[in-house]
Structure 1
Amino acid sequence: MRRIVGSGVVALILSVTPLLAAETTHAVPLAVGAAVTGKAVAAGTRQVFDPEAAAGDYVKGTLRVEAGVFDLDLVDNGGRHLRRLAEGAGGVAEFQLVAEGSGERLVVTADREGTYVLGIERKVGVADQRPAPTAYLSPAIAGIAAAVAMGGTTEAFWAMVTDRGTPLVEDGQDGRKVVTFLGRGAKRNIRLFGAPSGDHEELQRLGGSDIWFKSFEVPDDTRLSYQLAFDVPDVPGTARDRRVAILSTAKADPLNRHGWPAEAKDAYNQDSVLELAGAPPQPFLAEKGNPQGRLNTLSIESRLLGNHRDITFYYPPGFDPAHKDTILLFVFDADQYLGRVPVPRILDNMIAAGAVPPVVAVFVANPDRAARARELPANLAFADFMATELHPLVAKETGLAVPAARTVLAGSSYGGLASATVAMRHPEVFGNVLAMSGSFWWSPPGTPEDRREHVAGLIAVGPALPLRFFLSAGLFETGAQGTAGILETSRHLRDVLQAKGISVIYRDYAGGHDYLVWQGVIADGLIALFGGDRP
């Protein structure tokens, strides 16, 4: 190797001198598990070794340099250079190769006098280069895989699945459960929408059988809703175009006995439920015959936002505006929390059980999807609408004079983000935040990467606001490709709030971005903030 310096440029010129055939003929054999030591090797010295590899053999070894500097090359049986395996090595250099032909040699060249140890750790012949047997997470899948491999049918397996229902649940490690999602009858693919991984997952076909499956190990308190999408089309277009194509065939799992909602127009408008034995109770969901509150809907115009929307009021049974313990609850995404999540019934049951004081709820609808995406993520005009237009209207309509300490903003996803940012702008009006899987990863467009997580940043540099937070996130809401997800950013916000001295209650749930989880979380949050008549 020669160093050429000129015009401020340093170039390294590597020259590999062909070996004579006689040099390769007298190579030292190097067997697997053996090692050779070159001591006090002078600079420029070449030493040749025979790894005894046949064409196609996989060879793995180590060149450990104890002193000096060495190169390691592979040459053919005529001494011609094939590849450099280590250059200027000092210390330990691992190498791997696949022999192109028989008679290939390893050549160690001393760049600087020293000592080395060369060893071959492993050699695998072509006949032994076979993939490892598939390791199945699910014992049931392992059993049917073995049966199918021996020519058996899948009928008994499907009979068992039909009897038990899906997903299959089996014992895993350390108290966890192995959950296997199953599909039958697909031609090309089946995708899982709502997987514990937090992403769309492809089910794997078991050989050439009619079994499609995907297994996960999850906590024993997992609760989630999901759909299966059979034969999703591979549409041309962007990656997003291909991703959203899952919605064209996604529907409730035909083998799952627990549909949500229980009554739906069709399977495409229904999810399937996985609820393990340790899932936290949701005791306020069922109809219990308790006294019911009443609902009243108004359409209001906003001067600040230049649009109008519906606002729905929930008045508790026996409502008395003079009741000093009344809680005033604002809930974003009214369509979801009046329907999919039956908040009025939840409140009926909570109030009847004495879990919380009387609650007046105000459900805030979005004018449309575009308005939701524009207004809920940290929109100052929307925050001012909530405090200066909607709140006075609510006070006038209900006759309530509820202090900020008993007023709470609640929402999920962007609604959770809005709950935080509206209260942060107007803590004199809204003193409590109930954020379920809040989108705290969000930051304004153009924010530098090292300044992401807008809400945590504002809390960190701002004053200690007179607010109380209830934050929750799903264990399956993790980030991907180095980006923090809802789980990580919610935990980070919790830490920032604690460091700032702002009251915060935080809970993880073994679930995903899921209304099935949130229908229990909203009750948990209200009890955490106001149960036992907390101020």
Structure 2
Amino acid sequence: MTTDILRPPQTAGAPPHTPRPYPLPVCPSPRLAQLSASQPDAHAVAAFWAEAAARGTPLLEPDGDGIIVTFLWRDADAAAVILHANRLTDFRRLDQSLMRRLPGTDIWQLSYRMPPTWRASYAIGPLSAPPVPIDPDDPSDKARWRRLRSVARPDPLNREPLRHRADGPALSVVSLPDAPAQPWLAVRPGVLPGEVGRHQVGDRTVWSYLPPGAGHRDLPVVVLLDGDVWGGQGLLGATVDNLIAAGRIPPTMVLMVDCAAVPARTRDLACSPAFVRFLAGDLLAWAAARWPVTSDPAATVVAGQSLGGLAAAYTALCAPDRFGAVLSQSGSYWFPGGEVREWLTGRYAATARLALRWYLEVGAREWDLVGPTRRLRDVLLRRGYPVTYAEFDGGHDVACWRGGLADGLIALLGNIRQS
């Protein structure tokens, strides 16, 4: 490993958090306009809610080449209701995310016209008093924004629930008809499940996934960061079971490393040589002592999202003798920010090509990350790296990542054959 010469600049990294660079496509809903024009009585309102419950929410209405997506909330007492939609809601422009009450009813609604490729997680926050404008440069206002988010709840009529972290809010998901397919998530009849366990490796929690069956040899290994999300919350779900059963990847071992909370998570994932030494040394040695895993870097993947995507790319650069493939989703390639930006991309540009294969993806609505990710892609391609690249119509969102994770595993492990 070369971590001694690949230390990042001693700069406190902070995400850019630039304002959303475009207004939201707020629009009227034909169905709600029709209901409002009829001056609905209690019977009509009850019938509307029964219809919404039967169809599930949000309400989707085709509109040319787009879809009018109407979020709904039933509340007779709230003074205001905020829609918290991933990469749409911006506390600098709360007016574009405040739901409107249909006069004389308990119906709160807000409609956006979206492309049919869009997917996002969301929650809804009813308030006892209207929110006041928030100054993005005022720390107390940022704290107030966090409090507003803390009261958000999942949509009770939505049929796709999601929980990101144990200490995070329950969420709902909207997936429009042409959003990327996520066929590997659900449990399938007849597919044998792997064995999931929880362990302590030094002072870190690690979840393991061992594929079903016996007599395995040289199992490919995926080291997946933010293990509390994927292992602890079960978001890996049946994905690996289904991929193995369908023959899309070989039987594979997954090690899901808990990256804890801020600031420890930032310390470990923001290009830390010590964390690389743990992943490439202690963790893989610990796994090899317990299970029949490969030592072949070509069959060993390091994977992560957000800062974890940055850490995955950094780990492979520092330890190509242990990791031969990188699966990076919405990586924080702006790091470290301030006057020094995209440092890791510069390191790849200045380093001779390594034996690494890549799966890179980013959300088209991640305006802070699309540019840096594309520039890393371009550097890798100029250097001759094999790169599978994807952009999805969504944001910084596990609702999108859980499908892309399967795509990345297929791209990186689909041609691996065990001895």
TM-score calculated relative to the size of structure 1: 0.64
Taking only the aligned residue pairs, the percentage that are identical comes to 35
- Alpha-carbon offset, residue 146 of structure 1: 4.8
Answer with 135-144 or 251-260: which moved more: 135-144
Matched, 1:140 2:31: yes
Match of 1:295 in 2: 196
Mapped partners of 1:365, 1:427: distance in 2: 22
- Alpha-carbon offset, residue 230 of structure 1: 0.5
Mapped partners of 1:432, 1:442: distance in 2: 21
Q: Is the 8 A contact 2:226 2:260 kept in 1?
A: no
- Alpha-carbon offset, residue 198 of structure 1: 5.6
Mapped partners of 1:136, 1:315: distance in 2: 49
Residue 231 of structure 1, aligned match among 127, 136, 141? 127
Match of 2:73 in 1: 183
Q: Relative CO higher for 1 or 2, CA cutoff 8 Å, sep ≥ 6?
A: 2
Q: CA 1:227/1:300 → structure 2, altered by over 3 Å: closer, same or farther?
A: same
Match of 2:243 in 1: 350
Q: Which amino acid aligns with 1:508?
A: E
Matched, 1:310 2:205: yes
For each residue in 1:77-111, what CA deviation from the matched residue of structure 2 results, as whole angstroms up to 9, or x when unmatched?
xxxxxxxxxxxxxxxxxxxxxxxxxxxxxxxxxxx
- Alpha-carbon offset, residue 505 of structure 1: 0.9
Residue 259 of structure 1, aligned match among 161, 171, 176? 161
Q: Is the 8 A contact 2:220 2:293 kept in 1?
A: no
Q: Which amino acid aligns with 2:31?
A: A
Q: CA 1:154/1:497 → structure 2, altered by over 3 Å: closer, same or farther?
A: farther
Q: Which amino acid aligns with 1:197?
A: L
Mapped partners of 1:226, 1:410: distance in 2: 25
Residue 47 of structure 2, aligned match among 147, 155, 159? 159
Q: Which amino acid aligns with 1:275?
A: S
Q: Is the 8 A contact 1:232 1:245 kept in 2?
A: no
Match of 2:384 in 1: 501
- Alpha-carbon offset, residue 254 of structure 1: 2.9
Match of 2:230 in 1: 337
Match of 1:488 in 2: 371
Residue 414 of structure 1, aligned match among 287, 304, 307? 307
Residue 283 of structure 2, aligned match among 390, 393, 410? 390
Answer with 394-403 or 407-416: which moved more: 394-403
- What SS does the aligned partner of 1:458 have? helix
Q: What stretches of structure 1 move > 4 A for 4+ residues in a row?
A: 144-148, 152-155, 206-211, 232-237
Q: Is the 8 A contact 1:293 1:315 kept in 2?
A: yes
Q: Is the 8 A contact 2:334 2:369 kept in 1?
A: yes
Q: Is the 8 A contact 2:211 2:251 kept in 1?
A: yes
Which ranges of structure 2 fall in alignment gaps of 5 or more residues? 1-25
For each residue in 1:168-211, what CA deviation from the matched residue of structure 2 results, as whole angstroms up to 9, or x when unmatched?
2112343x212121234253321112245264552242575544
Q: CA 1:392/1:257 → structure 2, altered by over 3 Å: closer, same or farther?
A: closer
Match of 1:280 in 2: 180
Match of 1:458 in 2: 347
- Alpha-carbon offset, residue 509 of structure 1: 1.7
- What SS does the aligned partner of 2:70 have? strand
- What SS does the aligned partner of 2:108 have? strand
Q: Is the 8 A contact 1:191 1:232 kept in 2?
A: no
Residue 147 of structure 2, aligned match among 241, 245, 269? 245
Residue 297 of structure 2, aligned match among 404, 414, 418? 404
Match of 2:100 in 1: 205
Q: Which amino acid aligns with 1:526?
A: L
Mapped partners of 2:234, 2:178: distance in 1: 21
Mapped partners of 1:534, 1:173: distance in 2: 47
Mapped partners of 2:171, 2:237: distance in 1: 22
Matched, 1:531 2:401: no
- What SS does the aligned partner of 2:407 have? helix
Q: Is the 8 A contact 1:456 1:496 kept in 2?
A: yes
Q: Is the 8 A contact 1:196 1:216 kept in 2?
A: no
Mapped partners of 2:288, 2:356: distance in 1: 21
Match of 1:468 in 2: 357
Match of 2:13 in 1: none
Residue 168 of structure 1, aligned match among 59, 72, 76? 59
Q: CA 1:367/1:281 → structure 2, altered by over 3 Å: closer, same or farther?
A: closer
- Alpha-carbon offset, residue 140 of structure 1: 2.9
For each residue in 1:135-161, what CA deviation from the matched residue of structure 2 results, as whole angstroms up to 9, or x when unmatched?
94432344445556xxx6586366335
Greater Rg over alpha carbons, structure: 1
- Alpha-carbon offset, residue 470 of structure 1: 0.6
Q: Tell me the number of residue pairs that the alignment of Structure 1 and Structure 2 aligns.
A: 375
For each residue in 1:294-315, what CA deviation from the matched residue of structure 2 results, as whole angstroms up to 9, or x when unmatched?
23433122xxxxxx11222222
- Alpha-carbon offset, residue 434 of structure 1: 0.7
CA RMSD of aligned residues (A): 2.9
Q: CA 1:366/1:431 → structure 2, altered by over 3 Å: closer, same or farther?
A: same
